[in-house]
Amino acid sequence: MNITTRKFYYGDIPEESAGGATSAIVKSNETAWPLWEVFIRSKQGLDHKHAGSLHAADAAMAIENARDVYTRRQEGVSLWVVESKYIHASNPDDAESFYEPAADKVYRHPSFYVLPDEIKHM
């Protein structure tokens, strides 16, 4: 991982033309531990839900760290961890074409059926 981030303090002043005091190129620490995403199942039968992320050197340490950081207040009975780099996300720029077309298609909701009286909890 060799990511270079630029910090601009006063609006969008480019580094090279800013005064010395604001110059700050933060290089990510090459020896830093990778990032992991943590998923917790709060009780048997429920799904694992995303709880947050943390740093760890490997999967075993990630599980222990997740136990210490995210289950101190009895939040769960099972943990999953996955290295963040293996998660692929949809692009926010695609939001219009991805999600908006569903907005006017109410018939996709199963709300046009007559339910028999015997069926409860629907």
User: Binding another protein by CB under 8 A: which of 13, 24, 26, 57?
Assistant: 57
Backbone angles phi, psi at 97, to 5 degrees: -80, -25
For the CB of residue 73, give the shortest distance to another protein in the complex, in Å.
11
Tell which positions 75-114 bind another protein, by CB under 8 A: none
For the CB of residue 37, give the shortest distance to another protein in the complex, in Å.
14
* Cβ neighbours of residue 41 closer than 8 Å, sequence gap 6 or more: 47, 48, 49, 76, 77, 78, 79
Number of amino acids touching another protein (CB under 8 A) = 13
Tell which positions 15-54 bind another protein, by CB under 8 A: 33, 54
Would you call 106 exposed, middle or buried from its count of C-beta atoms within 10 A (0-12, 13-18, 19+)?
exposed
Q: Are 83 and 57 in contact (CB under 8 A)?
A: no
Backbone angles phi, psi at 93, to 5 degrees: -65, -20
For the CB of residue 33, give the shortest distance to another protein in the complex, in Å.
7
Nearer to another protein, 33 or 80 (CB): 33
User: Binding another protein by CB under 8 A: which of 35, 41, 48, 69?
Assistant: 69
For the CB of residue 84, give the shortest distance to another protein in the complex, in Å.
14
Cα(10)–Cα(23) distance, integer angstroms: 11
The position carrying tokens 């531990």 is 33
Q: Which residues bind another protein (CB under 8 A)?
A: 33, 54-57, 60-61, 64-65, 67-69, 72
